[in-house]
Structure 1
Amino acid sequence: MAKITFPIIKNFTLLVMMLVFSLTFSQNSNDIVFQGETYEMPENIASFQWSQMPESARLDNGYLGWVQFYATPSQQVQDLFKQNNLQLLEYIPQRTYLFYFPENTSVTFLRNNGVRTIVPVNGRAKLSAALKSGDYNYWAMDGDNILVTLQFHKNVTGTYAISQLAQQQIIVKENFKGQNMLDLSIPNNCLEALSELSFVKWVDLVVAPAVPDDTRGRSLHRANSLDTQTGAGRNYTGEGIGVMVRDDGRVGPHIDFQGRLTNLTNVANQSHGDGVAGIMTGAGNLLPSNRGMAAGSDVYVVNYASNFLDGSTVNLINDGSVQITNSSYSNGCNDGYTSITQTVDQQTLDTPSLLHVFSAGNSNNNNCGYGAGSQWGNITGGHKQGKNVIATANVYFDGSLVNSSSRGPAHDGRIKPDITANGQNQISTNENNTYQTFGGTSGAAPGIAGISAQLYQAYGDLNGGDFPPSALIKATLLNTANEAGNIGPDYKFGWGIVNALQAVKLIEDGHYLSDEISQGNTNTHTINVPAGTTQVRFMVYWSDVAASPGADPALVNDLDLLVTDPSSNVLEPWILDPTPDPITLNDPATNGPDHLNNVEQVLINDPAVGNYDIDITGFNVPIGPQEYYIVYELISDHVAMTYPNGGEHFQPNLAETIHWDEVNTTDDFVLDYSIDNGNTWNNIATVPNDTHFYNWTVPNEVGGNTLIRVTSGAFQDVSDDTFNIARTSVTVNVIEVCEDTAYFEWSAIADAESYEFYLLGEKYMEVIATSNTNSITIPITDPNDEMWYAVSAKNDTEGWEGERTQAKFYGGGILDCLIGVEENAFDNALSLYPNPATNEVYISLSDKTFSNFDVTVANSLGQILESKLSIDNTTRATLNVSNYSSGIYFVTIKAGENVSTKKLVVQ
């Protein structure tokens, strides 16, 4: 077999890269371009005999090889092959499949059904370009051996594969049972022999080491409108949806995940996963303003495993516990369509409700071999190149792109990243009930994952509790994204910045449909566009068949979208030019046929009223039939306020970021606010037309009838409902804890008529009592129970309520309570002095019946600062508090079954 070999991929010149693209996208040549090497496909069916196949092509009672058809076989032919147990295992470009046929297969049958060529698989086509390059990084070496991942055919068992490898003196490092995959340590000189083994399907270097992708999202994402926490608004918290944090170890402890967190890892003292989890699912129990996207989802935490075949991930997906996963890790850069890419795409096909969400990476400014320099083609990790997954780019809170955010295209020219979210400078959870500043695409991806959980719940509420297909959710997110960067999709922002509000409206309005298509057929769907529509977007999306590792392009089933308007004009979808040239890659999208992506969109501004025909054609469907989804968005507003939009709690003199959406406006935006429900208005500012946010210093005007208005020329919108401007108490403290009551005090708020008092419940901070003063006594069942508590102010007459204070922690125990002599014996035996203190504090236990005692010191947030165990000194123990900040601390003394907590003031 003749072939042209380019073994060292990373040294391609721009000219060779462009040649490969032209060969790859060509529809004329019968030869196959696979990883830069051309494999000849002779027209041999007229004279072919099975005896011509080499021994390396025999497996069990059949043959493995490549079969090429004259034309993509019809669905009838595909079904006929299945009926005759002729397995078309994977699709290779150019009408070619990897096949397994029984040894008695009739060549006449093949000839009569369009087969052109049958050849054995060249061993080099089973080896990845990285493996053939001979340039291996340290992580791929095991002494003098190479560490590789091997895929074997499903026609054989793992036991058989391992036994055959043992004969070659090959060491199995890990066996992924049930996954047809092994990690091996192999001598450098056995690659050729390994590739010629018939059961071997694909061999690649082991995946590169995992690297975390780190360096005010709810309002930018419009997720606030899905989780308003008001009786009248939407309250999609992701309840009933399982989300997975695949990261660096245990998450928490943190009350923001109260009652919803399952840690399946013992790795401790890591914070990256905590940051991811908080953005995705934090409830804001500790501090309300730090609420994440899906504050009601069930959170499962596992260690990140780069091959996605770890038992925890697979089991939680397969048993239905988890619907959405988040992985904010990189493994290499611009890796192409790898065996891991195939795995994540196939997992989505096997479990249609599964959605994998990934960070795009922080590798911009790195040249990863795409051929256009350091500003393009640097998406990190093969898994992110998947067709059925989401890779997320990173922007600041104002929607501007972070320079480090990885850019597309994918290795084969597909649109990557898919979508964009705010990841930079987020405040998220950390261990031990604290928060951290968190950033990078690591913070952007969990924003998308959390919003997806909210959309899953919205779909379930409308469909009897069923989980949606992830294809529908992904299509909805892409089709409703806010325009960013160039008009149409681009290789920086993907399809734009996520707009959760528009996405949930699409689901609620039922603006979607599904069908399936076979080779060569066309389906027509008619959708009516009503009067008053400012913009309409039609999108087709399908979860594509997993491609063969190394495939370029990776698209298997190629569908085409055409839209015919009421005047019979035919409109084509957006397309981008993936030629590896920095100028071309930055060009705006044009329109034309798309034969690279499994998503296509037609966007029409100021559309005519009437019926639109949506034609979906099976341009090339070698593995059919293919299910697809059509989603359509009908936008009627030129401008729309999105934040604040009703029910929010702002504090006077603090900065808040106002957000709004716009479509087809040209005038600047004028912003006004009202404190009397729109009767009168006060100007805030005028901002340029290309700006969609404004940092507003909230006026010192307390009230609950506040609105924001945005105006652009003749177009205007106002917050859907009023929001609050009110102060929050500065301090709240526990003063006394007795056997069955606890007493709390807080700083009073001017004009407050009442206060709501909160305790941490099963999942959230819950109002358990109301007081008309700045103190309250509540009943308790056990004085030794821990308590998280907070308070908020209200004025029902004026109609306002303030934001809840940050939750504070009390570790339990009797505190400054006058009780009976017998019960109070231990407490009376204790002395804590001086109090207040500045340097040293002495603890004395005068009762000589106690030979030792334990001392624990916690701050007002409940964080343990110091712990002294088994102090064998019944006269006095000493605490050094000279390094403590001024404030209130709690000292808990335990002797035997006796516990007492004393309040300590440090000056």
Structure 2
Amino acid sequence: MRKSLQYCILLIAFFVSSNIVSSQELSSNASEANKELFNELKQQENERLERVNTFLLNNPNIKKSLSDGNHIEYIYDVIDGKPIYRSTYNLSAGRATKINHLQVGGSLGLNLDGSGVTVGVWDGGPAQASHPEFANSTDTGSRVTIIDNAIVDGDSGSFSFHATHVSGTIGAKGVSASALGMAPNVNIKSYNWSNDETEMISAVNAATDPIIISNHSYGVPIVNNNGDYLDAWWMGAYTQDARDIDNIARNNPKYLIVASAGNSGTTSYSGGLYAGYDKLTTDKNAKNSLVIANANPTVSEQPIFSGNYEITNLVINSGSSQGPTDDLRIKPDLAADGTNLTSSIPTDAYATYSGTSMSAPNTSGSLVLLQQYYHQLHGVYMNSSTLKGLVCHTAIDDINVVGPDPKFGWGFLNAKASAETILEDQNSQSVIDELTLDEGGTYTFTFSAQAGEKLKATICWTDMPGNIATNGVANDQTPRLVNDLDLRLEKDGTTFFPWKLDYSASTGFSNSKADNSVDNIEVIEIDAPTAGSYTLTVTHKGTLQGNVGGPFDPQSQDFSLIITGSNLTLGVDDNNLLENLSVYPNPSNGEFTISFQSNLNSVDNNVKVEVYDLRGRKVYNNSFINSSSVFKETISLNGIKSGVYLVNISEGNKSTSHKLIIE
């Protein structure tokens, strides 16, 4: 009896000490909305810890943690008298997701390493900050700052194996070449998961080194190590945790929360939407985060010794948890390589793990480099909706399914295509824009495109938190979307609609192109566009809701817009330059010819040609006097490195851009 009492006292002491961590003061630059949300979430955490304390006191024979020798689970909450366990999601990534093209020495010439960016890692305990992989660029200190010292995932020793591996996947510097992280010079703040929600608000509003991305490779498994299953209503449900994540994101528009989808892919249970699907739990069903599935790509060097790696086979790992949400939102959002990743573990060692725990930090580290690149070009970071929309827009389609599905989401992460789109926007060859739609308003944008390359348009927005699902009600398909924006493209009287997920209780899931009233990301794809003028519109259904002013004040919804296609011309008046325009050969060895039908009625018939690399550096600049109806000039780029370049061509006030590949 005395031993049980001592055990309970220790538990209470642990939970009280854990709660103290979340009581840190918010920085003075935190908004009033964040201060209010911080206090609300702190109260929720206190109530959750009290439920766990009471349950353990009343059930002394139930262990606070469970282990099967491979992973450890820990009681996180008690709902309807049943313990809910949190678990780490465990069971060469950079080449598959093409992040190597962005890194130092990569083909794009960007030489990105995460410098100046801070990422938060919430996990089962602190990472080993002294691991050689976390040394700073001068080897005089660590890039990992430990915020929470307590290990809560049951690991022995002073550091969490799982957290150290996850942090290495994000930011290992490559002391061991096989363990090189995605962002080898990023700063990392290391937390345990005990008070994650309040700590997230503190970290993103910190006076020094605020985070803009965080990684969460843990969650609630469908079946725990005791063999106990969650009730079926949990799977796919929009719970309090999902709402909290959406609330945090809504209050902090630059902050993107990256979460692992879970490793319940082979778990079966009764009462779901459809056999083999509907396995996302708690916060994985949030709208504003980026939830990552685990893919198992096969990558090979093509051609051999070229240094260029391509995916030759792309399948989802069988253990990766499938979506969608109960309201048929497309979740997970993306897939990334999380199979057999080598990374750092405590005692300066290394190990190879698989799971969505690995695909999530693979993604988080890649997003760090994209934010670093965007900041280099613009001086600010992207909104989280822009970053999320961009990586979903540029994702590689699942080989076996056209369009989105509940396994891959929008596809497989392609960091190279995302970076190229950022630069193409800088050179008016694509669109990445951050906009606002007012109540009752319509956003309209007209542009021209050539036939050939797929034309694609995406909007993404950080939505208001929705209504929480009712406990015990399974598969409630009531939409959790609050502000329902609508994207349309129109050309010559034909209207193109975005993707949406379809569901049949008898046949399962498919997709179609129609009105989407559940997702806060909408994507229109035209596989074989015809040349000409397109009109894009964004409108909304119902009344926009916001978190400012009174309920009857005018509201608005910020959204992000991404457009890519063949020879986009942003404004129909610029399209004259595109008549019979050709740049050939392409690819070339550095010598190519530009030819187009000239506008001799222009006051200024001089033709200006500029060539930029993908860091925005000008590598060629010349002007040509033109007196012919057909302009034709051969350009020689002597000694230029192989890679992708942008050729800007202008005549008078008309201009266009072309992508050029130098072999």
Same fold (TM over 0.5): yes
Q: 1:520 & 1:219 partners in 2: Cα distance?
A: 45
Q: Is 1:556 the equivalent of 2:482?
A: yes
Match of 1:724 in 2: none
Q: 1:634 & 1:569 partners in 2: Cα distance?
A: 18
Shift, 1:249, TM fit: 1.9
| Contact kept in structure 1, 2:221 and 2:264, CA below 8 Å | no
Match of 2:508 in 1: 584
Deviations 1:36-74 (A, max 9, x none): xxxxxxxxxxxxxxxxxxxxxxxxxxxxxxxxxxxxxxx
The correspondence for 1:270, drawn from 140, 156, 160, is 160
The correspondence for 1:634, drawn from 534, 552, 565, is 565
Match of 1:537 in 2: 456
Quickly say closer, same or farther: Cα 1:557–1:232, change in 2 above 3 A: closer
Whichever structure has more helix as a proportion of its residues is 2
Q: Is 1:362 the equivalent of 2:250?
A: no
Quickly say closer, same or farther: Cα 1:323–1:409, change in 2 above 3 A: same
Quickly say closer, same or farther: Cα 1:635–1:210, change in 2 above 3 A: farther
Residue identity matched to 1:287 = S
| Contact kept in structure 1, 2:371 and 2:381, CA below 8 Å | yes
Shift, 1:256, TM fit: 1.5
Shift, 1:546, TM fit: 0.8
Q: Is 1:609 the equivalent of 2:537?
A: no
Q: Is 1:183 the equivalent of 2:47?
A: yes
| Contact kept in structure 1, 2:41 and 2:197, CA below 8 Å | no
Q: Is 1:343 the equivalent of 2:253?
A: no
Quickly say closer, same or farther: Cα 1:277–1:563, change in 2 above 3 A: same
Q: 1:369 & 1:218 partners in 2: Cα distance?
A: 38
| Contact kept in structure 1, 2:463 and 2:482, CA below 8 Å | yes
Q: Determine helix, strand or coil for the equivalent of 1:341.
A: helix
Moved more, 493-502 or 220-229: 220-229
Q: Determine helix, strand or coil for the equivalent of 1:233.
A: coil
Q: Is 1:246 the equivalent of 2:122?
A: yes
Shift, 1:620, TM fit: 2.6
- Structure showing greater radius of gyration is 1
Q: 2:282 & 2:144 partners in 1: Cα distance?
A: 29
| Contact kept in structure 2, 1:294 and 1:454, CA below 8 Å | yes
Q: Is 1:600 the equivalent of 2:489?
A: no
Quickly say closer, same or farther: Cα 1:718–1:228, change in 2 above 3 A: farther
Residue identity matched to 2:168 = G
Matches within 5 A, 1:398-477: 398=298, 399-464=314-379, 466-477=380-391
Return the structure number with greater relative CO, CA threshold 8 A, min gap 6. Answer: 2
Q: 2:170 & 2:437 partners in 1: Cα distance?
A: 36
The correspondence for 2:282, drawn from 382, 406, 431, is 382
Unaligned runs of 5+ in 2: 1-10, 13-37, 56-77, 137-142, 152-157, 223-234, 299-313, 426-430, 471-477, 546-554, 569-588, 591-639, 644-658
% same residue = 26
| Contact kept in structure 2, 1:572 and 1:593, CA below 8 Å | yes
Match of 1:317 in 2: 204
Quickly say closer, same or farther: Cα 1:345–1:298, change in 2 above 3 A: same
| Contact kept in structure 2, 1:519 and 1:620, CA below 8 Å | no
Aligned residue pairs: how many?
Answer: 454
| Contact kept in structure 2, 1:384 and 1:391, CA below 8 Å | yes
Shift, 1:238, TM fit: 1.8
Shift, 1:361, TM fit: 0.7
Q: 1:226 & 1:720 partners in 2: Cα distance?
A: 17
Q: Is 1:397 the equivalent of 2:319?
A: no
Quickly say closer, same or farther: Cα 1:176–1:559, change in 2 above 3 A: closer
Unaligned runs of 5+ in 1: 1-141, 144-174, 189-202, 638-675, 678-704, 709-716, 722-907
Q: Give TM-score, length-normalised by structure 1.
A: 0.47
Match of 1:688 in 2: none
Matches within 5 A, 1:126-275: 179-181=42-44, 182-183=46-47, 208-229=84-105, 233-252=109-128, 253-259=130-136, 260-266=143-149, 267=151, 268-275=158-165
Q: Give TM-score, length-normalised by structure 2.
A: 0.64
Q: Is 1:527 the equivalent of 2:428?
A: no
Q: 2:401 & 2:106 partners in 1: Cα distance?
A: 37
| Contact kept in structure 1, 2:242 and 2:285, CA below 8 Å | yes
Q: 1:397 & 1:410 partners in 2: Cα distance?
A: 25
Deviations 1:102-158 (A, max 9, x none): xxxxxxxxxxxxxxxxxxxxxxxxxxxxxxxxxxxxxxxx99xxxxxxxxxxxxxxx
Matches within 5 A, 1:561-710: 561-565=487-491, 567-581=492-506, 583-585=507-509, 587=510, 589-623=511-545, 624-634=555-565
Q: Determine helix, strand or coil for the equivalent of 2:272.
A: coil
| Contact kept in structure 2, 1:367 and 1:373, CA below 8 Å | no
Deviations 1:699-722 (A, max 9, x none): xxxxxx9999xxxxxxxx99956x
Q: Determine helix, strand or coil for the equivalent of 2:502.
A: coil
Deviations 1:404-442 (A, max 9, x none): 111111122111110000001111111232211011011
Quickly say closer, same or farther: Cα 1:176–1:524, change in 2 above 3 A: closer
Residue identity matched to 1:437 = T
Quickly say closer, same or farther: Cα 1:301–1:592, change in 2 above 3 A: same
Q: Determine helix, strand or coil for the equivalent of 1:564.
A: strand
Deviations 1:433-482 (A, max 9, x none): 22110110111001111111111111111112x22211100000000000
After superposition, the CA RMSD in angstroms is: 3.2
Shift, 1:288, TM fit: 2.5
Q: Is 1:514 the equivalent of 2:473?
A: no
Whichever structure has more strand as a proportion of its residues is 1
Q: 1:178 & 1:373 partners in 2: Cα distance?
A: 34
Residue identity matched to 1:392 = I
| Contact kept in structure 2, 1:416 and 1:491, CA below 8 Å | yes
Residue identity matched to 1:568 = G
Shift, 1:370, TM fit: 5.7
Shift, 1:578, TM fit: 3.2
